[in-house]
Chains A and B, each alone.
Chain A
Amino acid sequence: MRTRTRILAASTSIAAMTALAACGGGDSGSESEDTGSAGSDDGEAVTLTVATFNQFGYTEEMLDQYESEHPGVTVELVTADTSEAARTNLTTKIAAGGEGLSDIEAIEVDWLPELMQYPELFVDLTDPELEDRWLDWKVAQATTIDGQLIGYGTDIGPEAICYRQDLFADAGLPTDPAEVAELLGGEGASWEDYFAAGREFVAASDAAWFDGAQPTYQGMVNQLEAAYEDAGTGEPVDLASNSAVQDLYQQVLAASVDDGLSAGLEQWTADWDAAFQNDGFATMLCPAWMTGPIEERAGGIDGWNVADVFPGGGGNWGGSFLTVPASGANTEAATELAAWLTAPEQQTVAFENAGTFPSQIEAQSSEAVQAFTNPFFNDAPVGEVFTSRAEAIEGAPFKGANYFAIHQAVQDAILRVDVTQEQDAETSWDGALESFNSLGLM
Chain B
Amino acid sequence: MTALKTPAPAPTRGRPDPQPPRRVGFSQRLGRWDVKFSPYLYISPFFILFALVGAFPLVYTAYVSVHEWNLLGGQGEFVGLQNFTDVLGQAVFWKSVANTFSIFILSAGPQLALAITIAALLDQNLRAATFWRMGVLVPYVVAPVAVSMIFGRMFADQYGLVNAVLGGIGLDAVGWHSDRFASHVAIATIVNFRWTGYNALILLAAMQAVPRELYEAAVIDGAGRLRQFFSVTVPQIRATMVFVVITATIGGMQIFDEVRMYDAQGLGGPSRNWMTTVLYLYDVAWGNQKNFGRAAAVAWLLFLLIVCIGLINFFLTTRIATSDGERPASRRRTKELIARAQAASQARAAGADAAHRAEPAEPADPSPPDPGPDRPGSQTTPGGDR
User: A351 to chain B: closest CB distance in Å?
Assistant: 27
B340 contacts the other chain (Cβ, under 8 Å)? no
Stretch at the interface among A189-197, A228-236, A263-271, A304-312: A263-271
Residue pair A115, B157 in contact (C-beta under 8 Å): no
Interface size on B, residues (CB 8 A): 28
A-contact 0/1 string along B71-95, CB 8 Å cutoff? 1111000000000000000111000
B271 contacts the other chain (Cβ, under 8 Å)? yes
The residues in A between 332 and 361 inclusive whose CB is less than 8 angstroms from any CB of B are: none
Provided the pairs A91-B290, A121-B72, A265-B158 are in contact, do residues A419 and B270 lie with their beta carbons within 8 angstroms?
yes
User: A69 to chain B: closest CB distance in Å?
Assistant: 35
Provided the pairs A118-B72, A420-B271 are in contact, do residues A404 and B288 lie with their beta carbons within 8 angstroms?
yes
Residue pair A271, B270 in contact (C-beta under 8 Å): no
Stretch at the interface among A6-14, A363-371, A388-396, A408-416: A408-416
Q: How far is the CA of A400 from the CA of B72 in the complex (A)?
A: 16
Provided the pairs A94-B72, A274-B156, A420-B269 are in contact, do residues A268 and B288 lie with their beta carbons within 8 angstroms?
no
In the assembled complex, which residues on chain A have CB atoms less than 8 Å from the CB atom of B178? 419-422
Q: List 24 A-B contacts (CB under 8 A).
A: A91-B286, A92-B71, A95-B72, A95-B292, A264-B158, A265-B158, A267-B264, A270-B159, A271-B156, A271-B158, A271-B160, A274-B159, A280-B159, A412-B270, A413-B270, A414-B270, A415-B270, A416-B270, A419-B178, A420-B175, A420-B269, A421-B175, A421-B178, A422-B178
Query: Chain B residue with minimal CB distance to A269?
Result: B264
User: B185 to chain A: closest CB distance in Å?
Assistant: 16
User: A227 to chain B: closest CB distance in Å?
Assistant: 15
B263 contacts the other chain (Cβ, under 8 Å)? yes
A68 contacts the other chain (Cβ, under 8 Å)? no
Provided the pairs A95-B71, A422-B271, A431-B271 are in contact, do residues A270 and B156 lie with their beta carbons within 8 angstroms?
yes
Q: How far is the CA of A286 from the CA of B158 in the complex (A)?
A: 23
The residues in A between 411 and 442 inclusive whose CB is less than 8 angstroms from any CB of B are: 411-416, 419-422, 431, 438-439
In the assembled complex, which residues on chain A have CB atoms less than 8 Å from the CB atom of B263? 266, 269
Contact of B286 among A88, A115, A117, A404 (CB under 8 A): A88
Give A contacts to B, CB under 8 Å.
Answer: 88, 91-92, 94-95, 114-115, 117-118, 121, 264-272, 274-275, 278, 280, 404-405, 408, 411-416, 419-422, 431, 438-439
Q: How far is the CA of A422 from the CA of B272 in the complex (A)?
A: 12
B335 contacts the other chain (Cβ, under 8 Å)? no
Provided the pairs A91-B286, A421-B178 are in contact, do residues A275 and B159 lie with their beta carbons within 8 angstroms?
yes
Residue pair A438, B288 in contact (C-beta under 8 Å): no
A-contact 0/1 string along B144-158, CB 8 Å cutoff? 000000001100111
Query: Chain A residue with minimal CB distance to B149?
Result: A270
Residue pair A117, B72 in contact (C-beta under 8 Å): yes
**Which of B152, B264, B265, B269 has the most A CB atoms < 10 Å from its CB?**
B264
Q: How far is the CA of A408 from the CA of B177 in the complex (A)?
A: 18
Query: Chain A residue with minimal CB distance to B69?
Result: A95
Contact of A118 among B73, B156, B158, B264 (CB under 8 A): B73
In the assembled complex, which residues on chain B have CB atoms less than 8 Å from the CB atom of A420? 175, 177-178, 269-271
Q: How far is the CA of A274 from the CA of B152 in the complex (A)?
A: 12
Query: Chain A residue with minimal CB distance to B152?
Result: A270
**Which of B158, B160, B177 has the most A CB atoms < 10 Å from its CB?**
B158
Contact of B264 among A268, A275, A405 (CB under 8 A): A268
Query: Chain A residue with minimal CB distance to B157?
Result: A271
In the assembled complex, which residues on chain A have CB atoms less than 8 Å from the CB atom of B158? 264-265, 271, 274-275, 280
Residue pair B269, A269 in contact (C-beta under 8 Å): no
In the assembled complex, which residues on chain A have CB atoms less than 8 Å from the CB atom of B269? 415, 420
User: B230 to chain A: closest CB distance in Å?
Assistant: 42
- Additional pairs, 18, CB under 8 Å, beyond known A420-B271, A422-B271, A438-B90: A91-B72, A92-B71, A114-B72, A118-B73, A121-B72, A264-B158, A270-B159, A272-B264, A274-B156, A275-B159, A280-B158, A404-B288, A405-B288, A408-B288, A411-B270, A416-B271, A419-B177, A421-B178
The residues in B between 287 and 327 inclusive whose CB is less than 8 angstroms from any CB of A are: 288-290, 292
Query: Chain B residue with minimal CB distance to A418?
Result: B270
Residue pair A92, B286 in contact (C-beta under 8 Å): yes
User: A147 to chain B: closest CB distance in Å?
Assistant: 21
Q: How far is the CA of A15 from the CA of B229 in the complex (A)?
A: 57
Q: How far is the CA of A438 from the CA of B289 in the complex (A)?
A: 10
User: A271 to chain B: closest CB distance in Å?
Assistant: 5
Contact of A266 among B74, B175, B264, B271 (CB under 8 A): B264
Q: How far is the CA of A179 from the CA of B264 in the complex (A)?
A: 35
Q: How far is the CA of A420 from the CA of B71 in the complex (A)?
A: 32
Residue pair A412, B159 in contact (C-beta under 8 Å): no
**Which of A266, A405, A421, A439 has the most B CB atoms < 10 Å from its CB?**
A266
Query: Chain A residue with minimal CB distance to B70?
Result: A95
